Structures are given as structure tokens and as C-alpha cells.
Amino acid sequence: MQDLNLMLIFAEVIEAGSFSGAAQQLGVSRSAISKAVANLEKGLGARLLNRSTRHLSATEVGVAFFEHCQRIKQETEAAQQVVDSLNAVPRGTLRVAASVAFGTLHIAPALSDFLNRYPEIDMDMTIIDRPVDMAEEGYDVVIRVCETPPENRVARNIAPAGSKLCATPDYFKRFGIPKRPEDLEHHNCLDYIHSGDKGMWRFTGPTGEIAVPVSGRLRINDDDALSQAVLSGLGLALLPTFLIGKDLQAGRLQAVLSKYIPIKRHIYAIHMPTRHLPLKIRVFVDFLAERFGPRPYWDRV
């Protein structure tokens, strides 16, 4: 099989009528064009051009061969035009996976604005908490809330995912407001089952980590369900602000000990590494970063 680049160069030579004309069109030297055609002839075992000091013409074999090279050149240009057109306007189907809580509360309500802005994009969205294999399952973008994104993927930090220790104002009226982490030993501390050591909450103080033994009458494996228990006045819990931001802003919940709770997790838009990122992915990730940003609306007072 012949090198397609050599065939394209040969087609350019015939169309330009000279090595010099082809060299100018392709932006290379005349000698490079001459060498390319010589290599092509050597590979074919046939002479394609009649050369003289003033004139260049195709042989009978060269004329027949040129017809095929010309079709390849036309198809190559058509393929490039398809790519250029797809890159000029975001279009195509975008496959997205997002975690249940964040995807439901914040990604889904944003889709109308995104799809109205980019009318040639369609979206398939999966709300799922389990880890997904992007390459195997064909996702373009995965939205995850985590401390560290996967090392073998490209991850853009689109917003912080802070947490607040909170309860209802009525709960604090009845049981008092904790002033330091150690005060939590006297409170009904509702826990997320997968949060870490059972019965131990960890904070960060001026001198380092503060481990506080706590107890409570309820442990749940779902943040949304945990927030409902807190809103009912049962006790206090550490909850993500993207989940309870409206409740804090409306005064239904009250945060305490915030200076002891650093931001450890962020919301990432994750995609496969690629040399040429499809425009549909780029505009979606940019849209999310623009909508949420370093100071997301759920954290604004």
C-alpha cells in the first residue's frame, strides 16, 4: 500500500502543473516535492511523470493513477470539512453521568439553559452514584463530588463542595449551641454511614486534627434522607452545602463550628484525555464552571 501523503502530493503536482507550483501550494520546498514523487514512483515500480527542464507531463500510467489520487484528495478535503463544521458549531449527542444528589438538584435544572444556548446538542444523562467506566460505557463527561479526581482522566474543578455542621434553630434553643468540637459529646449527632469511623467525627483546628467521640440515635446511608432528619429537629449532622444551601439561606437550618470544617471536596467535570477535545464537551464544561464557579449560589448568604 502506498503512502497516502505521497499520493496527495502527486495529485497536487498534476493540478499545479509543476513541482514549484505544488511546493508553493503545500508550503514546502521544491526539492521535497520532487523527492516525494520519486519515492512514489519507486514504490509503484512505474514512471508517473515525463520530466524536462521546461515541461512536466504525466505518463499514461501517471494519468490513470492521478484519477485515483484526485478522488482520495477530494475525499480527504471533504472529511476535513466535516470535522471543521462539527468544530465550528457545538453539535451532536452529549452523554453525561452525574451523582444522584448533585445531578438532581443542580445539573438537571441547568440543562434547559444549556440546551437552549446550544440548539444542535442533544443530551443523554444518567443519574448514578456508582463509579462508571467512561471508555467502556461511552460517557463524554462525568460529574463527581470527591476529594481527588482520577489520575488518568482530565478533571476540571467547577465548584467547591463545602460542608456545614447544622441543625434547626429550635434544636439549638433546646440543647444549646456548641462552641467547640468537644461540645458535640453532649448532642444527638446524626451520622452518614459511610463517613468514616463510627462514633468519631474529625475536625481541623489551629493545631491540627481534632477527633471527637460522638453518639446519636440515627445513622443513614443517604445525605438527602439525613438532611430531612435534621430538618425535622432530631439532631445535628455534617451535610454538603449544595444539598442544604437553600435551608441555610432561609434560616430553616443553622450552621455551627464552621471554622473547624475546611473544604476538602470539590465538584469535578471529568472527561477522557484527548488531543482535540470535541466542542460539545468543551462548551458543556465551560457552562458548568460559569454557572457554579468558585463561589456557587448555594453558598451565598
pLDDT tens sequence across 175-224:
999 999 999 999 999 998 876 677 889 999 888 999 999 999 999 999 99
Instruction: Give the domain 4-88 fold.
Output: Arc Repressor Mutant, subunit A (1.10.10)
Higher pLDDT, 20 or 232: 232
Classify domain 163-260 by CATH number.
3.40.190.10
Closest CA to 227 of 204, 255, 185: 255
How far, in Å, CA of 48 to CA of 200, rounded? 82
Q: What percent of the chain has pLDDT over 90?
A: 69
pLDDT tens, residue by residue, 261-273: 999 999 999 999 9
How far, in Å, CA of 239 to CA of 245, rounded? 10
Q: What is the mean pLDDT of residues 138-153?
A: 92
Instruction: Please check whether residue 106 is in contact with residue 292, taking contact to mean a CB–CB distance below 8 angstroms.
Output: yes
Q: What percent of the chain has pLDDT over 70?
A: 97
Q: State the cell numbers at 198.
A: 463510627
Rounded (10°) angle between helices 4-16 and 30-44: 120
Domain with CATH 1.10.10.10 in the chain: 4-88
pLDDT reading at 138 higher than 60: yes
pLDDT tens, residue by residue, 50-70: 987 677 889 999 999 999 988
Q: State the cell numbers at 271.
A: 472527561
Chain-centre distance of CA 101, in angstroms? 18
Domain with CATH 3.40.190.10 in the chain: 92-159+271-299, 163-260
- Give the residues across from 26 on adjacent strands: none
Question: 452523554: which residue's cell?
Answer: 95
pLDDT reading at 164 higher than 80: yes
**Architecture label for domain 92-159+271-299:** 3-Layer(aba) Sandwich (3.40)
Query: If residue 165 lies in a helix (H) or strand (E), which one and from where to where?
Result: strand 163-167
